């Protein structure tokens, strides 16, 4: 009870709105920087207000390349960070991240199968589909289906464990990730050099150029999932006290946990299916914000979503800026690991211990 009281003592609607406003400004600044700069700088005025044409290369780059990639970074970053904050609370483990429940393993296995089979679009799987559905990425679809299957497996397996449900879900996810990793290794050993390169590129975490319909669908999924997490964030505060204390305070423990796990897993599935395994975003961003603003999930979930979007947009900007030094495209997943690993170790050293409440 004392841990939750400490978390909620500093929460007021005015403070939450003020901090969200600050983060929205940071988001706008990051958006401008990420769209204007990269391997080649462009004018935002000429790009945004101009008409794409051979005479206006800035507009071509802005609308065809920069905007879709930056929007994808914001969507993926928001989903990973918000789900990371939620899972750290649900599992009562500050080291939990969006990939801990096996969702990432299922997504990686699904995408690996599609890439190994050479399936580029959905039309290659089921020819004759109507219009835009046929052009959807087959690896993204297989990744989403794999993530959904892993999520269902973890939830069904951890049912009936009562007060041990968070730990049962955690252990099941770890075991499933190990199985998926072994299966991916087998597929990689059987794949040719070209297919192997595609698989490795996906697994490290990359941001490509998605069409606007895919981005809109992904944004709607993330908005719905993050909305559920925000709506249940007050009950999540109580869950961090333990199931018995939460139940005594009127929280429907099992139902709330299932909804939170479903929302977080759906968010992770939507993000990973489009970007691959971008690490450290869902671990680092919520933890940094918890240190700065306290453990109240009513504040952490929205701030994590905004902070994750800012972080991944800037990480992708850095990847694009330094890519020429490496003779080609640098995966954003490599940048987040390089930035996140040392920073997390520094936090461990300074804090001495980690807390979620």
What's the pLDDT tens digit per position in 276-298? 999 899 999 998 899 899 899 99
Tell me, yes or no, whether 56 lies in a domain: yes
pLDDT at 195 over 70: yes
pTM (2 d.p.):
0.90
Mean pLDDT calculated for residue range 14-33:
96
Rounded-to-10 torsion of CA 218, 219, 225, 226: 140
Q: Kindly report the three-state secondary structure assignment for every residue of the chain.
A: CHHHHHHHHCCCHHHHHHHHHHHHHHHHHHHHHHHHCCCCCCCHHHHHHCCCECCEHHHHHHHHHHHHHHHHHHHHHHHHHHHHHHHHHHCCCCCCCCCCCCHHHHHHHHHHHHHHCCCCEHHHCCCCCCHHHHCCEHHHHHHHHHHHHHHHHHHHHHCCCHHHHHHHHHHHHHHHHHHHHHHHHHHHHHCCHHHHHHHHHHHHCCCCCCCHHHHHHHHHHHHHHHHHHHHCHHHHHHHCCCHHHHHHCCCCHHHHHHHHHHHHHHHHHHHHHHHCCCCCHHHHHHHHHHHHHCCCHHHHHHHHHHHHHHHHHHHHHHHHHHHHHHCCCCCHHHHHHHHHHHHHHHHHHHHCCCCCC
pLDDT digits (tens, 9 = 90+) for 248-263: 989 998 899 889 999 9
**207 assigned to some structural domain:** yes
Q: Tokens for 66? A: 């920069």
Q: How confident is the model at residue 181, as a pLDDT? A: 93
**Rounded to 5°, angle at Cα 259 from 1 and 241:** 10
**pLDDT attached to residue 5:** 37
Domain containing 320 equals 2-351
**Pick from 81, 74, 64: which is nearest to 34 by CA?**
74
Confidence check: pLDDT of 343 > 70: yes
Q: What is the mean pLDDT of residues 154-172?
A: 73
Exposure letters 285-306 (e unless 16+ CB within 10 A, then b):
bbbbbbeebbbbbbbbbbbbbb
- The mean pLDDT of 98-103, rounded to a whole number, is 87
What's the rounded Cα separation, in Å, for the pair 53 and 241?
59
Q: What percent of the chain has pLDDT over 70?
A: 87
| Contact (CB, 8 A) for 89 and 356 | yes
Kindly indicate the confidence band of residue 124, based on its pLDDT and cuts at 50, 70 and 90: low
Q: Residue 331: inside a domain, yes or no?
A: yes
**What is the C-alpha separation between 286 and 282, in angstroms, rounded?**
7
Considering the domain boundaries, does residue 356 fall inside one? no
Residue 302 lies in a domain: yes
What does the pLDDT read at residue 314?
Answer: 96
Distance CA 207, CA 329 (A): 10
Distances, alpha carbon 293 to alpha carbons 82, 184, 297, in Å: 15, 39, 10
Whether the per-residue pLDDT at 129 is higher than 80: the answer is no
| CATH number of the CATH domain containing 91 | 1.10.3470.10
- Average pLDDT of span 197-202: 89
In a domain, 357, yes or no: no
Lowest-confidence pick of 73-87, 127-141, 315-329: 127-141
pLDDT at 356 over 60: no
Please tell me the distance from the alpha carbon of residue 108 to that of residue 199, in angstroms, as a whole number.
Answer: 9
Q: Which one has a higher pLDDT value, 131 or 224?
A: 224
Higher local confidence (pLDDT), 188 or 40: 188
Residue 127 binned pLDDT confidence (cut-offs 50, 70, 90)? low
Which has more confidence, 188 or 158? 188
7: confidence class by pLDDT, cuts 50, 70, 90 = very low
What is residue 50's predicted lDDT score, i.e. its pLDDT?
86
Tokens 């800012």, located at residue:
310
Residue 130 located in a structural domain: yes
Whole-number Å distance between alpha carbons of 76 and 305: 9
Q: How far apart are CA 173 and CA 109, in angstroms?
A: 14
pLDDT of 90 over the 50 cut? yes
Total of domains in the chain:
1
Is residue 282 a contact partner of residue 97, using CB atoms and an 8 Å limit?
yes
Q: What is the mean pLDDT of the chain?
A: 86
Binning pLDDT at 50, 70 and 90, where does residue 242 land?
confident
Neighbours of 188 (CB within 10 A): 16
């Amino acid at each position: 009870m004392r841990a939750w009281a400490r978390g909620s003592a500093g929460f007021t609607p005015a403070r939450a709105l003020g901090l969200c406003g600050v983060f929205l400004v940071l988001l706008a600044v990051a958006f401008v920087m990420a769209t204007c700069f990269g391997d080649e700088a462009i004018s935002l005025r000429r790009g945004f207000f101009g008409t794409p044409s051979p005479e206006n290369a800035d507009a071509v780059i802005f609308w065809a390349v920069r905007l879709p990639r930056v929007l994808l970074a914001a969507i993926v970053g928001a989903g990973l960070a918000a789900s990371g904050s939620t899972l750290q609370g649900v599992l009562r483990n500050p080291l939990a991240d969006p990939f801990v429940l096996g969702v990432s393993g299922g997504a990686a296995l699904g995408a690996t199968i599609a890439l190994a089979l050479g399936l580029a679009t959905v039309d290659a799987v089921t020819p004759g589909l109507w219009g835009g559905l046929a052009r959807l990425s087959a690896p993204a679809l297989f990744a989403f289906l794999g993530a959904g299957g892993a999520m269902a497996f973890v939830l069904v397996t951890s049912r009936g464990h009562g007060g041990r449900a968070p730990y049962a879900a955690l252990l099941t996810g770890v075991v499933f990730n190990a199985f998926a990793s072994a299966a991916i290794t087998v597929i990689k050993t059987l794949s040719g050099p070209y297919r192997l390169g595609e698989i490795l590129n996906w697994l490290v975490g990359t941001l490509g150029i998605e069409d606007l319909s895919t981005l809109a669908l992904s944004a709607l999924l993330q908005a719905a999932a993050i909305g559920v997490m925000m709506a249940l964030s007050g009950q999540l505060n109580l869950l961090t006290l333990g199931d018995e204390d939460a139940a005594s305070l009127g929280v429907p423990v099992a139902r709330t946990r299932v909804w939170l796990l479903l929302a977080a897993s759906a968010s992770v599935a939507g993000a990973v299916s489009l970007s691959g395994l971008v690490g450290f975003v869902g671990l680092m961003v919520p933890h940094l914000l918890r240190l700065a603003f306290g453990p109240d999930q009513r504040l952490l979930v929205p701030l994590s979503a905004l902070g994750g979007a800012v972080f991944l947009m800037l990480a992708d900007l850095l990847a694009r800026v330094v890519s020429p030094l490496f003779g080609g495209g640098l995966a954003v997943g490599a940048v987040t690991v390089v930035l996140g690993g040392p920073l997390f170790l520094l936090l461990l050293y300074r804090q001495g211990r980690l807390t979620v409440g």
